[in-house]
Every structure is written in structure tokens, then in C-alpha cells.
Amino acid sequence: MFKAVCLKIRTNSFFIFFTFLLFTLLMLSFYTRTSILQSYFDEGVYISCGSAYVSNSTPPVLCNFEHPPFAKYVIGFSHLFGFSRVLFMFFYALSCYLLFLVLYRLSQDFGVSLFASLLLFFDTLFFNTFRFLLLDPVAVVLSLASLCLAFSAWFSASAALAGLSFASKFSSAPTILASLYTVFKRRGFGGALKFFAIAFLAYLATYAADFRLGFSTVFEHHVKMFGYMGWRHGFSPALASIGFLKLLTRVEVWRFGGNIYVYVTNSSGVWTIHNTTTVSGSGLYIVVGVGLGSPAWYLLFPALLYATYIALVERDDVMRFVCLWGWLSLLNVVAGPIDWYYVNALPALYVSTSMALLKILKNRFKQVSSILISIQITLFIATAVGIMPYRVELYR
């Protein structure tokens, strides 16, 4: 009986996975012929530097030092061999499938796991980001794989993937911390320390080309990265507020402009950080997100608050983990309302939303979730074919 149940679960899981792949291939063929959704031109930098990393062994500090290198190695290798777009569509499908596995491990509920993974799959912002060769898709799929392996007790493999995810983009940190928490709960402080050590070594390994220039080069690279993060993301109340505003209402308010330069010099063994700033107002404009994202975004933060209430009142370990992951994921929002910042937060927020709705609706969850998914798919298609605009800009 037990083997039959396990076989059924595996069969259903693989059916979902291949269904995701089928949808992905269909949408890949569609989106190669259209530019209806927003384009992200950052991929040009990542393709150029990633190709240089792979073909010329260029140290990462010399090309796009602003971000860790591993995702650019993936981009460069796949681009040079001509399968980068297909690979990133596979990452998109795999990320949704991994989210299904993670939530199924948590809830043991097939319906709620499927619901969360479909919400993520038909989120136009999540899909649109994976259309481009950006760093976040690599970070997302690796961090979700790390979390899935942590639940499966493959702790060393989970740690290695966590290190590679962090070496793709620092915004994967919330999910990596969720993996570390899982290991700590199962293996104690010693297991968590081993996880951290393996992840750290995997992270450092991605800077092998920098190490060829000397150990100080790796230090210099990180100083430059953190200097870039200091002005680019800001961590200011203004940026955080418009980041949360977009999450809550799908509306962006912008009034920024200018250039900020941060660079490091070394003279006679003394490191100096220079900062030159020229900022001017660029005028106020408001961006209303229509099709990009999902109507389910309006539920994300309220559902997280409710899940937190349940975790505190009922002392439910599953809801505690869901809330921890959800609140940590909001750290990506404080960097501002850039589309790909939300990609690392959406898996955790859809998990908390699904679990909260399951607690609220109980026996009615199946009916209500079917309606919500139907709406999500309809709007996804309407946005994809251009019936619904993905954004409306209002200038003052």
C-alpha cells in the first residue's frame, strides 16, 4: 500500500514537471516572435562578460565586477554553445517544479503545492524575467534546488548549490537562509556549521580566475561589489517604500536621475574608496502595472501577515518556516521596484499565500483555488497576446 502511494506521488510529480516543460516550449516558440512584454537590456552586459570569462578566462573583477560571477559563467557557456534561451526556459519550468516539491515536503498536500507552483508558473513577471539571460533566474533555480535538497537530507549537495546560488546573485540569500535553517533544525549547530563551510568554499571556488591575480584581487572585487551595492540599491526608506508600494499595489513611483561612481585604488599598499556623485531630479512619473505580475500580488502581503498570526498563535512549525522564508524574502523588495528583484521573493510569497488560503478556506480551498488559477491563466494569455497592456505610464 505504501509503495503504491509513493508511486502515485512520483507519477503525479513527473506529470506536473513534463506539463511545465510542454507549456515552456510552447511559450518559448511564441515569445521568440514577439516583443509585447518588457525587455531587459542588462543581459547584453552579462552575455559579453560571461563569454569573456569562458572563452578568454577573463577574471571577473575585470568585467562586470558589480555582481558575483557564477551566473555569468552559465550565461557565457550556454550562449557560446547556442542553447542559452532553451536553458533559461528550462530553468523557469524547473523552478516552478522545485517549488511544488518544497511545498509538498512542507504540507503533504498535493492540491496546495500544485496551486502555488501554478501561481508562480503563470506570473508574467516571473516568466518574463526568465526570457532574458539575467543573473536572477540562475540564482532562483539553484537556491530552490538547495532548499529542496535540504528537505531531502542531502545536506552537502544543498550547501554546494547554496554557495553557487549566492555566487550568482546575493538576492538569493533569503532562500539560502531558509535552507540553513532547515539543516539547523535537522542536524543542529554542527550540521549548520558544516553547511556554511561547504557553501562558503563553493562560493569562493567561483572566483578562481580572480585568485590567479592574487588573493588581494578577490578582496578588491568584493570591496567594489559592496561599493556598487551601496549606491545602486541604497537601502534607503525612499527606495524601500516604493519597493513595497509595487508589491502591495503594483504601482511604481519614480523621481530619480543622475550618476554615481564608486571606485577603489591601491597606492603603496593603502586601499582608498572614492565616491563621486552627480544627481539631478528627473521628474515624477508613475507606472501602473497591469498585466505584468499577477492579480494574486494583492494577496501576498496580507496572506503573509495572516500566516504569521497562525504561526504565533498555533505554534505550527510548518507555518513558522513559511513565515521565516516569506519575511526574509521581502529583503529583496527594499532595493526598489526593479522587476527582477521580485523574482527571488515570489516563490516564498506564493508559498505563504497558498498556506494561508488553505487555513482560511479549508474545505472550500479546491473550488476557490481553481477560480484563482483560471483568472491567472486568462490574464496571462491576455497579456501575452497584447490584449491587456503590461504597464501604463503617467507623467507629471
Give residue-wise pLDDT tens across range 142-162.
Answer: 999 999 999 988 999 999 999
Confidence of residue 258 (pLDDT cuts 50, 70, 90): very low
pLDDT of 271 over the 90 cut = no
| Of 61-75, 136-150, 281-295, the least confident | 281-295
Quote the cell numbers at residue 105.
515536503
Domain encompassing residue 340: 2-395
Residues 11, 7: Cα–Cα separation, whole Å: 6
Over 70: is that where the pLDDT of 189 sits?
yes
**Cα-based angle 311, 314, 317 (whole degrees, multiple of 5):** 55
- Residues of the chain with pLDDT > 90: what percent? 45
* 345's grid cell: 521573493
Mean pLDDT of the chain: 83
Mean pLDDT, residues 227-248: 73
Count of domains forming the chain:
1
Q: Which residues contact 396 (CB under 8 A, 6 or more apart)?
A: 283, 284, 285
**Of the candidate ranges 123-132, 161-170, 196-205, the one whose mean pLDDT is the lowest:** 123-132
Pairing type for strands 391-395 and 251-254 reads: unpaired
The answer, yes or no, to whether residue 244 has pLDDT greater than 60, is: yes
**Pair 245, 251: CB distance under 8 Å:** yes
**pLDDT given for residue 266 in this prediction:** 60
Of 316, 315, 295, 301, residue with least CA distance to 352 = 301
Neighbours of 48 (CB within 10 A): 16
pLDDT at 64 over 90: no
